Amino acid sequence: MKFFLDTANIDEIKLAAATGLLDGVTTNPSLVAKEKRNFRAALKEICGIVNGPISAEVVSLDTKGMLKEAKDLAKIHENITIKLPMTWDGLKACRELYQEGVKTNLTLVFSPMQALLAAKAGATFVSPFVGRLDDVSTTGMDLIEQIVTIYENYGYSTEVLVASVRSPIHVLDAALIGAHVVTMPWGIFQQLVKHPLTDIGIDRFLKDWDKVKNLK
Ligand code: G3P
């Protein structure tokens, strides 16, 4: 399973990359706005830290505008993955970028049919938003299960990138279902290693070791 960080914050990306377990980064206009800095400069810096797919989202709503932005963003680095909205225009742009060999990530996906369209359009990644579905009393993980089943039924190579992750349970459920990628905030990434019994166990080992370490 691949771990992506869902942030445009350089410090968080550096910390996650230092674990050796970071496979990529996803950004979106809201995450970039939080950092209050130039989008292209931030993307360039991220590409220098992480050697994996770095999603950069277009803001145009028409295919022509999306393709123009995509071509410009793709020039930043070969790892830039173009994030496109799940609309007919986004799908058309995805199809064209697929034919040109540019990696894409179809985002704001909330139904299995949208995910099927993304796969047919040749998307590299599809991003279903589990947390936002949970927010409206719909189990987001059911969608992941449906998409993984559909993709397996037809052997689509589009990778399921679980997004809008809000807790380690989302990561666990995604892993149990067999989703290819989870993108998560740095806070969730950090929580994955934590277990109180691990901390208690380390403390106990160290205390016991203190009792005998100076014995000759
Ligand atoms: O990857 C999409 C993500 O940034 C959205 O997360 O928490 O705003 O629903 P959230």
**pLDDT tens string 94-146:** 999 999 999 999 999 999 999 999 999 999 999 999 999 999 999 999 999 99
Q: How many helices (H) and strands (E) does the chain have?
A: 11, 8
- Does residue 24 carry a pLDDT above 90? yes
Q: Which of 164, 186, 188 most suits a substitution to test ligand 1, by most atoms within 8 Å of the C-beta?
A: 164
CB 125 within 8 A of CB 102: no
Q: How does pLDDT run across 151-169, given as a tens digit for each residue?
A: 999 999 999 999 999 999 9
Q: What is the distance between the alpha carbons of residues 141 and 138, in angstroms, rounded to a whole number?
A: 9
Which residue in the list 64, 83, 92, 207 is annotated as catalytic?
Answer: 83
Which residue in this structure is represented by tokens 């950004």?
A: 27
Q: Give this prediction's pTM.
A: 0.95
Largest CA distance in the chain: 77
> Using one digit for the tens of pLDDT, what is the confidence trace for 155-207?
999 999 999 999 999 999 999 999 999 999 999 999 999 999 999 999 999 99
Do 10 and 47 meet the contact criterion of CB atoms below 8 Å apart?
no
Confidence at residue 29, expressed as pLDDT on a 0 to 100 scale: 87
What is the structure's pLDDT at 140? 98
Selection from 58, 69, 62, 71 nearest residue 32 by Cα: 58
pLDDT tens-digit map of 30-44: 898 899 989 999 999
The pLDDT, as a whole number, for residue 25 is: 98
Query: For 46, which DSSP code?
Result: H
Which CATH number do you get for residue 75? 3.20.20.70
Number of structural domains, the chain? Answer: 1
Residue of 34, 35, 84, 129 to test ligand 1 pocket, by largest number of atoms within 8 Å of CB = 129
pLDDT for 208 equals 97
Residues with CB under 6 A from ligand 1: 6, 26, 28, 129, 131-132, 163-164, 183
Catalytic: 83?
Answer: yes
Question: Which domain range does residue 25 map to?
Answer: 2-212
